[in-house]
Amino acid sequence: MEIRPILSAMLRNKTGAILIALQIALTLAIVCNAVFIIHGRLVMMNRPTGIDTHNIFVVSMTAYRPDYNAANMIRTDLDVLRRIPGVVDAAYTGSVPLSGSGSTDGISTKSDPKAPTVDEGEYYMDDHALKTLGVRLAEGRDFTHEEVVHTGWHEYTPPPVAIISRALATKLFPGQDALGKIFYEAGGRYPVTVIGVVDTLTNSYPSWHNYALTAIFPAALENKFSDFMVRTLPGQRDEVMKEVDGQLAKTHTGAYVRHLRTLDWYEANTFQADHALTVLLTVMICLILAITALGIVGLASFSVSQRTRQIGTRRALGARKTDIVRYFMMENWLITSIGVALGSIFAVALNFWLVNLFDVAPISWYYIPVGIVCLWMLGLLAVLSPALRAAAIPPAIATRNV
Amino acid sequence: MFTYNLRLALLSMKRNPILTALMVSAIAIGIGMATTTLAIYHVMSGNPIPQKSDQLYAVQLDSWGGNSPFKEPDEPPTQVTYRDAVALMQADKAQYQNASFQSALTVQSDNPSIKPFMVIARVTYNDFFPMFDVPFEYGGPWSKNADQDAEQVVVLSQETNEKLFGGANSVGKEISLENHRFRVVGVLKRWNPVPKFYDLENSQFGDTEDLYIPFSLTAPMQLQNNGNTSCWKDTGDHTFQGFLNSECVWIQFWAQLPTAADRDAYHDFLNAYADEQKKLGRFPRPLNNHLRNVTQWLAYRKVVPVEVRALVGLSFMFLMVCMLNAVGLILAKFLRRSGEIGLRRAVGASRMTLFRQYVVETAVIGLAGGALGLGLSWFGLLGLRHLLTSTTRVTHLDWTMVGTSLLLAIIASVIAGLYPAWRMVRIPPAMYLKLQ
């Protein structure tokens, strides 16, 4: 295949080629970076949480009578919930897992308040926590009923025992067995013994970089607001939720159900903006690829119709149909190659701007070659139909006026 | 002349319907995408209180301790402690000053058909209302005495008044909040500054509170904070009073300081206050107090998420691709009509006349693309509203945005049309007449 005549023909009509090449360059830059952002968000949204998310819902109660007894309310409500058919277990919780709202603390392995700390998310739950979350204990033991501390919010002090996630165990005690070790809460004031370790457990902040650093404390914080987690048998969540609403309304006069929401709802709510971003960027990618492809089709069709006579002449002089198709494919491939070469620079520059903005890791190198291959294919596919039309031009056309 | 240009333009668009549709939709999609992201950016970066944004200052007192600053590098807390809030209110050094926080309460109506429900209350001083220009439908703010004596008075939002009293003038009526009787003293008009600048701790683009009660009720009613509470030191005796006396920051503090001199004087006052506290053994970190006005505060708190900035950048690049696409198509279309140009030039049309003709034609395409693009962005925002149910206030088109995007469409398409038009009028007439 002779490239020289293609090049010289392109040089005679530079504008069209430049326009397409620029479009391809910008498309490559946008698509690579958009896919990179989407990928990052999807990874974050699909991290393993360790929790049986789909079968859990949360009942939020609010007490309003002056004579309400929070301790009684928690106990009776949990009794009601645990007896409903289809319920695996129910637990008190101080904050809703994955909800984006809860408690954090900086903990340390030393009692010195000036010692460096590890920021982690904390759950305050009762002794039914693990079974309700659907988390299996990897090491050590579960909380006993007697270990659960019942206090008000302001009277709360950390209990002496905790179950922590493997990630937190590794962070606090690298290379050691965390079981039986002590860490300190609230600036070194309260020693806490690790009695159990679970493999994976996300805290209340799934989009935080310390999402996997989690500690559960056996505490029921008595308050006018109470949240209960309920885990049901697979597939029975929605029926049980309806049942719960009726049952609790019957038992209570001084409190009402503030919300009854699935854990899926909380998770989706936390990731709402991230989800919207991925959807918007996906739409952007699809549209830009379609527009660039249509642009290639449009300009190739135009150049075919302009060169009808030239094509006819070539055919009359013995060029086969495949030669004509190959000519247009080659021309398009050359233009796309110039575009992607320029686009690689654009993509890196755009990524540089985004990295400065987001404070994320720079784009992985392989996005660009993959993007280049995709655009080559897109270009060839787009030019195929005009090229076939060009090949169909009969040689006799060369003798006619068009 | 213009109508003639316009008629020719429409005629030429009709002659190539597919090409015209392609051009219009390329511009429409580009404009639609750019308008959608720009509309969100426009709302998020808006000035919620333009008439006084340079007089209202968020107060930052560095009461933080421990071995690291509240936030690296060396940033003071964004809220103040209860005891500092009370002390700054008592000092009364600004034209208006206000301490407030959000609390969730249960309201019970005397009307038995309304079940008890939860409301979000703003617990605040009466300065809140004149300071933030809060509009009243009925009644007005409570008095200074009500603040001093912790009177059980309440100001309702328009929506809450609708729910409790069917929108009637409820001033003088009573409701129960957490089993305490409250007298309604005022009802607001609809009021929803976006972003909710006075409290960025709770949802920044969320709704304003359902009702307002005096700050002095915090201790007697043991009102709990609904937003962020940050502590660097244990709260001591683990009682509610202990919490109020603690070093936990959880209260938003604002001051209205009309002139630069007022501002400097208030800053000096804050520093003097901090020095005094240091003598009492508080404020262990170096002096680091700040006053930021509304605009500075919104920028400092990074209210516009970086994702939105990135999206605006990307969608303008996207618009550029659409425009390059349109230039290519316009050029192809014009070149196909070379013969017509040659003919018109040959019979005496000047280059300027023809140039105007092409610019009008691209402007018409641009306007059509812009109008369609606006429609697309309306759908885009509608879609985003379904995805962003907790921040629906940011997905709205206002007239500024409609105007901006139409202008953007026309400017972009005229720029896109200039090059093809210029190329066309440089065609020597003879060359194209020959071919016919």
- For residue A277, the chain B residue with the least C-alpha distance is B307
Is residue B239 packed enough to be buried (19+ CB in 10 Å), middle (13-18) or exposed (0-12)? Answer: middle
A196: left (phi over 0), alpha (psi -120 to 50) or beta: beta
Contact B363, B409 (CB under 8 A): no
What number is the average pLDDT over the span B78-96?
91
3-class state of residue A330 by DSSP: helix
- For residue A359, the chain B residue with the least C-alpha distance is B306
A154 vs B335: CB contact, 8 Å cut-off? no
A357 vs B309: CB contact, 8 Å cut-off? yes
Mutate to test the interface with B, among A41, A150, A287 (most CBs of B within 10 A): A287
- CA nearest to A228, candidates A261, A205, A201, A198: A261
Beta bridge partners of A91: A229
DSSP states of B99-138: EEEEEEEEEE-SSTTS--EEEEEEEE-TTHHHHTT--EEE
- CA nearest to A163, candidates A198, A117, A213: A198
pLDDT at B436: 43
3-class state of residue B250 by DSSP: strand
SS3 for B326-373 is HHHHHHHHHHHCHHHHHHHHHCCCCHHHHHHHHHHHHHHHHHHHHHHH
Backbone angles phi, psi at A88, to 5 degrees: -80, -50
- For residue B246, the chain A residue with the least C-alpha distance is A154
The verdict on B384 touching A (C-beta cutoff 8 Å) is yes
The length of chain B in residues reads 436
The verdict on B115 touching A (C-beta cutoff 8 Å) is yes
Mutate to test the interface with A, among B41, B317, B334 (most CBs of A within 10 A): B317
* Segments in B203-348 forming alpha helices (H): 218-221, 240-244, 260-279, 294-300, 306-336, 338-346
- For residue B238, the chain A residue with the least C-alpha distance is A155
Beta bridge partners of A305: none
Contact B236, B210 (CB under 8 A): no
Contact A197, A178 (CB under 8 A): yes
Mutate to test the interface with A, among B325, B381, B392 (most CBs of A within 10 A): B325
A288 vs B321: CB contact, 8 Å cut-off? yes
pLDDT at A28: 93
Half-sphere exposure of B344 (CA within 13 A, CB side): 19
- For residue A274, the chain B residue with the least C-alpha distance is B307
The verdict on B303 touching A (C-beta cutoff 8 Å) is no
What Cα–Cα distance (Å) separates residue B321 from each residue in A35, A295, A384, B402?
17, 10, 22, 22
What single letter denotes the amino acid at residue B65? G
Is residue A66 packed enough to be buried (19+ CB in 10 Å), middle (13-18) or exposed (0-12)? Answer: exposed
Tokens of B174: 């009573």
Can you tell me the distance from the alpha carbon of A234 to that of A281, in angstroms, rounded to the nearest whole number?
34
B22 vs A66: CB contact, 8 Å cut-off? no
C-alpha torsion angle, residues B91, B96, B99, B104 (rounded to 10)? 150
In chain B, what residues touch A256 (CB-CB under 8 Å)? 106, 115-117
A287 vs B305: CB contact, 8 Å cut-off? no
What sign does the dihedral A172-A124-A147-A84 (CA atoms) show? Answer: negative
What Cα–Cα distance (Å) separates residue B8 from each residue in A318, B204, B354?
44, 52, 11
Can you tell me the distance from the alpha carbon of A297 to that of B229, in angstroms, rounded to the nearest whole number?
59
Q: Give residue B317's pLDDT band: very low, low, confident or very high (50, 70, 90).
A: very high
Half-sphere exposure of B277 (CA within 13 A, CB side): 24
- For residue B334, the chain A residue with the least C-alpha distance is A302
For tokens 């107090």, name the residue.
Answer: B289
Q: Name the average pLDDT for chain B.
A: 86
With a CB cutoff of 8 Å and minimum separation 6, the contacts of A151 are A157, A219, A221, A222
3-class state of residue A378 by DSSP: helix
pLDDT (tens digit, 0 to 9) for every residue of chain A, 402 residues total?
577 777 777 777 788 888 889 999 999 999 999 999 899 889 989 999 999 999 999 998 888 777 777 777 788 888 888 888 889 999 999 889 998 888 888 888 888 777 788 889 999 999 999 999 999 898 889 899 888 888 877 777 788 899 999 999 998 898 888 888 889 887 777 888 999 999 999 999 998 888 999 999 998 888 778 889 999 999 889 888 888 887 877 776 677 888 889 999 999 888 988 898 999 999 999 999 999 998 888 888 888 887 888 888 888 888 888 888 888 888 889 899 999 999 999 999 999 888 888 777 788 888 889 999 999 999 889 888 888 888 888 888 766 654
Among B33, B329, B336, the residue with its CB nearest the CB of A284 is B33
B219: left (phi over 0), alpha (psi -120 to 50) or beta: alpha
pLDDT at B352: 82
pLDDT at B21 over 80: yes
B29 vs A291: CB contact, 8 Å cut-off? yes
What single letter denotes the amino acid at residue A111? S
Q: Give residue B392's pLDDT band: very low, low, confident or very high (50, 70, 90).
A: low
- For residue B388, the chain A residue with the least C-alpha distance is A272
Express the helix, strand and coil content of chain B in percent, nearest 5 each.
50, 15, 35
In chain B, what residues touch A154 (CB-CB under 8 Å)? 235, 238-240, 242-243
The verdict on B177 touching A (C-beta cutoff 8 Å) is no
Query: What is the pTM assigned to this prediction?
Result: 0.85
- For residue A287, the chain B residue with the least C-alpha distance is B29
Helix (H) or strand (E) holding A265: helix A263-270
**pLDDT tens digits along B131-141:** 999 999 999 99
In chain A, what residues touch B285 (CB-CB under 8 Å)? none
The verdict on B33 touching A (C-beta cutoff 8 Å) is yes
The verdict on B65 touching A (C-beta cutoff 8 Å) is no
What single letter denotes the amino acid at residue B74? D
C-alpha torsion angle, residues A134, A135, A136, A140 (rounded to 10)? -130
Mutate to test the interface with A, among B22, B40, B67 (most CBs of A within 10 A): B67
The verdict on B235 touching A (C-beta cutoff 8 Å) is yes
DSSP states of B56-84: EEEEE-----TTS-SBTTTBPPSSEEHHH
Q: Tell me A339's DSSP state.
A: H
pLDDT at B435 over 60: no
**pLDDT tens digits along B282-314:** 888 888 889 999 999 999 988 888 888 889 999
Backbone angles phi, psi at A148, to 5 degrees: -70, 120
Tokens of B144: 């200074």
What Cα–Cα distance (Å) separates residue A120 from each residue in A6, A102, A168, A204?
63, 11, 8, 10
Q: Give residue B266's pLDDT band: very low, low, confident or very high (50, 70, 90).
A: very high
Among A19, A65, A357, the residue with its CB nearest the CB of B324 is A19
pLDDT at A344: 92
pLDDT at A73: 79
pLDDT at B296: 92
Number of Cβ pairs closer than 8 Å across A and B? 139
Mutate to test the interface with B, among A12, A18, A19, A297 (most CBs of B within 10 A): A19
Give the strand pairing for B180-188 and B153-156.
parallel
A33 vs B314: CB contact, 8 Å cut-off? yes
Mutate to test the interface with B, among A31, A64, A150 (most CBs of B within 10 A): A64
Helix (H) or strand (E) holding B431: helix B429-435
Half-sphere exposure of A294 (CA within 13 A, CB side): 22
In chain A, what residues touch B423 (CB-CB under 8 Å)? 15
Question: How far is Cα of residue B195 from the mean position of the Cα atoms in its chain?
Answer: 4
Can you tell me the distance from the alpha carbon of A308 to that of A320, in angstroms, rounded to the nearest whole number?
15
With a CB cutoff of 8 Å and minimum separation 6, the contacts of B277 are B63, B84, B283
Can you tell me the distance from the alpha carbon of A37 to that of A42, in angstroms, rounded to the nearest whole number?
9
- CA nearest to A171, candidates A125, A204, A203, A136: A203
In chain B, what residues touch A33 (CB-CB under 8 Å)? 314
Can you tell me the distance from the alpha carbon of B10 to that of B24, in angstroms, rounded to the nearest whole number?
13
Contact B186, B155 (CB under 8 A): yes
Nearest chain A Cα distance for residue B239, angstroms: 5
The verdict on B388 touching A (C-beta cutoff 8 Å) is yes
In chain A, what residues touch B233 (CB-CB under 8 Å)? 187
